[in-house]
Amino acid sequence: MDYSLSEELEMIRRMVREFAIDEVAPGAALRDETERFDRPLFEVMGKLGLTGIAWAESYGGLGSDVVTNIMVLEELARACASTGYSLFVHSSLAGAAISMFGREEQKIKYLRPMAEGSKLGAYAWTELAHLTGTSGGELHTKTRRDGDHYVLQGDKFLVPNAGEADVYVVFAAMGDGPLASVSTAFLIEKDTPGFMLGKSEQKLGTRGSPSMSVELDGCRIPADNRLGEEGDGHRIALRTLEGARSGIAALAVGLAQAAMDAAIAYAKARKQFGKPIAQQQAIAFKLANMATQIEAARWLTYQAAWRESEGVENGGSGETANTNLFAGEMAMGVTLEAVQIHGGYGYTKAFPVERYLRDAKMLQMVEATMDEQRRAIARVVNGAF
């Protein structure tokens, strides 16, 4: 199999890399420090066609494949993980759910402005109980049919892009039981009565990508805003999250590449006994290990994206979990080594590696924790769990 990029893809990569270096990277530290989402920057990405890459051209997208999408995410994360993550949520979660399961009128109404960068998408599945490990597959947000509307009641927690987003994909359980398997998905616009923003979360990493709680208090949604059929929520969530995992891996690869770039630059500039520390065997070997781990994760990621683009069976959730697990742990290890190479300076904000380390931890936790990834792999390998 040939995973080399075509000339067209290489041109796109160069364009995105130049944009990331010139426009995204300079403000990354300030966005992290002030916990600010840069909406004008997102609008520029819309004008460049980066906010709807994999969607059909008829809905304002580029009609490109998954490989193109993860390549863009990798390059953005290399400049700013927060910017890359917000785009990931917008396109690979909220937009992908609408693209795959939306009705024609829903795609026309929402995907085009999302592709143009005039509307930002958010994805609201997580509830507080999910974070404590006590909820499993339950959803405590409830919905009931009321004539031509649905009424939603409940709370969502750590909703990525919340507060800045215009369109929210929200999941709620139907009936008396809390099981996610009887959930339904809805498209909710930010100014809908009964839809309220709650607490803004102060996070360890990706601080330039907003996360807030969402409160649904008798929120009335027109039946036309149901995504898919009643009871389809669990299937929509699983399919969306499964397809999005290569995107998280791409963010991890781009972030790790940034950390290694910073470590190399520092090691070449820092001198001991009149020689750059990059010439010391211990440092050189650290850099060699970092490069090997990044390249392995990169090709696992591109293989998963290529399989999805080609419609090749991914071997169940275990294969995408392999990619996500390896890339997430690789990013954490590489960013930690980058801090170590910087010595005491690595622990300060004088250099970006401390931010890279904080951002890497987030990539080990979103969509599924590392242990959840291992559980998915174990089911495929030996039927455990």
Q: What is the full DSSP assignment across 136-205? A: TTB---EEEEETTEEEEEEEEEEEETTTT-SEEEEEEEESS--BGGGEEEEEEETT-TTEEEEEEP--SS
How many angstroms separate the CA atoms of 278 and 306, rounded? Answer: 36
Record the pTM.
0.93
- State the residue range of the domain holding 209: 123-231
Q: Do 177 and 195 sit in the same domain of this protein?
A: yes
CATH of the domain at 24: 1.10.540.10
Which residues are CB-contacts of 134 (< 8 A; sequence separation ≥ 6)? none
Q: Give the pLDDT confidence score for residue 266 in this predicted structure.
A: 97
Q: Do 79 and 101 sit in the same domain of this protein?
A: yes
Q: Do 270 and 187 sit in the same domain of this protein?
A: no
With respect to residue 2, please indicate whether it lies within any of the assigned structural domains.
no
* 8 A C-beta contact, residue 60 and residue 111: yes
CATH of the domain at 372: 1.20.140.10
Q: Please, which residues bridge with residue 219 across strands?
A: 152
How many distinct structural domains can be found in the chain? Answer: 3
Structure tokens belonging to residue 49:
């066609």
Q: Do 156 and 216 sit in the same domain of this protein?
A: yes
Q: Do 77 and 217 sit in the same domain of this protein?
A: no
Quick check: is 10 catalytic? no
With respect to residue 90, please indicate whether it lies within any of the assigned structural domains.
yes
Chain centroid to CA 59: how far?
22
Q: Give the pLDDT confidence score for residue 371 in this predicted structure.
A: 65
How many angstroms separate the CA atoms of 258 and 263, rounded? Answer: 9
Q: Give the pLDDT confidence score for residue 274 in this predicted structure.
A: 87
CATH of the domain at 151: 2.40.110.10
Q: Do 378 and 241 sit in the same domain of this protein?
A: yes
Structure tokens belonging to residue 294:
């990044």
Q: Do 261 and 366 sit in the same domain of this protein?
A: yes
Q: How far apart are the first and last CA of the chain?
A: 33
Task: Decide: residue 308, CB within 10 A, 0-12 exposed, 13-18 middle, 19+ buried.
Answer: buried
The stretches in the chain having pLDDT less than 50 are 133-135, 315-316
Domain's final residue, options 101, 120, 139:
120
Q: Do 304 and 181 sit in the same domain of this protein?
A: no
Domain's final residue, options 175, 197, 231:
231
Q: Give the pLDDT confidence score for residue 300 in this predicted structure.
A: 93
Q: Do 70 and 98 sit in the same domain of this protein?
A: yes
**Which has the closest alpha carbon to 188: 122, 283, 285, 232?**
122
Q: What is the pLDDT of residues 16-61, one digit of tens each?
A: 999 999 999 999 999 999 999 999 999 999 999 999 998 889 998 8
Q: Do 300 and 201 sit in the same domain of this protein?
A: no
Q: Do 313 and 374 sit in the same domain of this protein?
A: yes
Q: Do 181 and 245 sit in the same domain of this protein?
A: no
> What letter represents residue 288's amino acid?
A
- Tell me how long the chain is: 385
Domain's final residue, options 120, 143, 167:
120
Q: Give the active site residue among 18, 75, 367, 372.
A: 367
Give ∠ CA 147-149-151 in degrees, rounded to 5. Answer: 110
